[in-house]
Amino acid sequence: MFNRILLLGGSGQLGQVLQPLLKDFSAQTDLQLFVPTRQVLDLNNTDAISDYIAQHKPDLIINAAAMTQVDDAETNPALADAINHRAVAVLAYAAKQQKAAFLQLSTDQVFDGSRSTPLLETDPPNPINAYGRSKWAGEQALVAAYAGTDLLWWILRTSWLYGEQGPRWLQHIDSNASVVTDQIGAPTSALWLAHIIVQIIQDAKTQPMESGIYHATMAGQTSKFDQAQRHLMQRHLIQQGQQPKLKPIKTEDFKQAVAKRPLYTVLNSDKLAKALNLTIPQWTEATDIHFMQLALNQAKIAEANGEVPVGAVVVAADGKTVLAQAHNAPITANDPTAHAEISALRQAATTTNNYRLDGCTLYVTLEPCTMCVGALVHARIAKVVFAASEPKAGSLQSQRQLMNEDLSGYYNHRFVWQGGVLAHAAALQLRTFFKARRQT
Ligand SMILES: [Zn+2]
């Protein structure tokens, strides 16, 4: 449905992970992707925006560009308004002339934080800082420009967004820093959100998601304090058993902040989940998304070799060390057992010099077959996470449920499993592969 996509904010936290996904997508569907740098398209220059749109004629604009530093916005509200509001107004007007669809990224900061239950799209915004005001004005500018047209537009409001390097504010945090306990929200992985955007674009071909505002955050909630504590634990900055030294404080006592912060901004993303027919993962499951992306990258290698695109990754018991990355290769290796899972298990066992992979997790893009379930049992793998289900040969949930069936005494080890992580992306990869194969 879309042939010319313009992505703004390509170098931001979301843009950095969205760009490669869109490039893959454009290679599969031969659409054109434009990602102008700030030097090429300055959003502070309204004439430049109109000229660029008229010249490149996009049929979808994804606006992930924003001034997102809340304190900077407070000290320079004019610049925040120029980028987060006026640029959106000009973009939306120019986009409408081209009959382009529009996807705008927005924020939980449009709310005042006075609630204590998850916020719905129908709840009225009431921003309490310059950043929130500029983003809310940007939303309204898009809605006003597209009112009365049948063009598609979506506003995705996300919260506590972080990229592959982790949350920016936690990157250099001291283990004895003061952190607020009364700001509650849902940290959201940029990679997860990027996959959501690709799915919205993909669905637009057949059944476009209805125009409107959507909350798009990961599920669950936490405080800034608990998020920081968890982050430090994972980084091993705090020894096991030792009490964290972070100092809990109230927002009103945190004097370094220039801008006011809304306290409670947990968003209810049920509307999005329903529209895209997906389950929203808990924010604590973001690492699953990250490792599944590595498996998807492996599947791409298989595809390039003419193999069915399946990739697998083995992660150590620490939950962060990647022990193996492998892809499907029975044809190229002349080996009927060269499934991605088997190759990944072999690699991980070689790396650790141990055929038992106690406590390890295997990520794979497709539900494992009977042979692979057998091998995973032999390897004593602790957990299997897969993306797409395999209706014909899947042996965990589809054809057989080998880990759930009553085979007492038959297996000397059982692993837990979970399906559906990035299922949409894996299914798209497989569909594209088989479609191309049928055509040749
Ligand atoms: Zn297999």
266-317 pLDDT tens trace: 999 999 999 999 999 999 999 999 999 999 999 999 999 999 999 999 999 9
Q: How far is the CA of 378 from the centre of ligand 1 (A)?
A: 14
Burial class (CB in 10 A: 0-12, 13-18, 19+), 298: buried
What pLDDT was estimated at residue 178? Answer: 93
What pLDDT was estimated at residue 122? Answer: 98
What pLDDT was estimated at residue 171? Answer: 86
What pLDDT was estimated at residue 286? Answer: 94
- Give me the half-sphere count of Cα atoms (radius 13 Å) on the Cβ side of residue 367: 22
Mean pLDDT of the region 219-238: 86
What pLDDT was estimated at residue 27? Answer: 77
Q: Percent of the chain having pLDDT more than 90?
A: 83
What pLDDT was estimated at residue 408? Answer: 62
**Of all helices (H) and strands (E), which one includes residue 286?**
helix 286-304
- Angle of helix 190-203 versus helix 13-29 axis, rounded to 10: 30
CB atoms within 10 A of CB 99: 11
**pLDDT, tens only, 152-166:** 999 999 999 999 888
Residue 242 has pLDDT above 90, yes or no: no
Please state whether beta strands 222-223 and 184-185 pair in parallel, antiparallel, or not at all (unpaired).
antiparallel
Higher pLDDT, 62 or 38: 62
What pLDDT was estimated at residue 345? Answer: 98
**Of all helices (H) and strands (E), which one includes residue 374?**
helix 370-378
**pLDDT, tens only, 59-99:** 999 999 999 999 999 999 999 999 999 999 999 999 999 99
Q: How far is the CA of 264 from the centre of ligand 1 (A)?
A: 46
Q: Are the C-beta atoms of 130 and 73 separated by less than 8 Å?
A: yes
Q: How far is the CA of 36 from the centre of ligand 1 (A)?
A: 42
Q: How far is the CA of 195 from the centre of ligand 1 (A)?
A: 26
Rounded Cα–Cα distance for residues 381 and 414 (Å): 8
Q: How far is the CA of 304 from the centre of ligand 1 (A)?
A: 19
- The catalytic position among 139, 285, 341, 390 is 341
**Of all helices (H) and strands (E), which one includes residue 191?**
helix 190-203
What pLDDT was estimated at residue 239? Answer: 63
What pLDDT was estimated at residue 165? Answer: 84
**pLDDT, tens only, 243-274:** 678 999 999 988 888 999 999 999 999 999 99
Dihedral angle computed from the Cα positions of residues 157, 160, 166 and 172, in that order, rounded to the nearest 10 degrees: 150
Please state whether beta strands 153-158 and 101-107 pair in parallel, antiparallel, or not at all (unpaired).
parallel
Mean pLDDT of the region 395-419: 87
Residue 321 has pLDDT above 80, yes or no: yes
Q: How far is the CA of 208 from the centre of ligand 1 (A)?
A: 35
pLDDT band at 241 (very low <50, low <70, confident <90, very high): low
**Residues in Cβ contact with 13 at an 8 Å cutoff, skipping those fewer than 6 apart:** 161, 162, 163, 168, 190
Q: How far is the CA of 336 from the centre of ligand 1 (A)?
A: 9
Q: Are the C-beta atoms of 395 and 367 separated by less than 8 Å?
A: yes
Mean pLDDT of the region 130-147: 98
What pLDDT was estimated at residue 264? Answer: 97
Q: How far is the CA of 367 from the centre of ligand 1 (A)?
A: 8
Residue 219 has pLDDT above 80, yes or no: yes
Give catalytic status of residue 341 as yes or no. Answer: yes
CB atoms within 10 A of CB 283: 23
Residue 175 has pLDDT above 90, yes or no: no
Rounded Cα–Cα distance for residues 286 and 289 (Å): 5
Higher pLDDT, 108 or 26: 108
DSSP 234: H
Rounded Cα–Cα distance for residues 94 and 88 (Å): 10
**Ion ligand 1, residues whose Cβ is below 5 A away:** 339, 369, 372
Instruction: Please give the angle made by the CA atoms of 398, 204 and 122, to the nearest 5 degrees.
Output: 95
pLDDT band at 226 (very low <50, low <70, confident <90, very high): very high
Q: Percent of the chain having pLDDT more than 70?
A: 97
Mean pLDDT for all residues in the chain? 94
CA 7 to the chain's CA centroid: 16
Q: How far is the CA of 302 from the centre of ligand 1 (A)?
A: 14
DSSP 329: -
Instruction: Please give the angle made by the CA atoms of 133, 135 and 136, to the nearest 5 degrees.
Output: 65
What pLDDT was estimated at residue 236? Answer: 67
Rounded Cα–Cα distance for residues 368 and 366 (Å): 6
Beta strands in 52-175 (DSSP E): 60-63, 101-107, 153-158, 161-162
- Map residue 276 onto helix, strand or coil: helix
Q: How far is the CA of 369 from the centre of ligand 1 (A)?
A: 4
Mean pLDDT of the region 13-34: 89
Q: How far is the CA of 319 from the centre of ligand 1 (A)?
A: 23
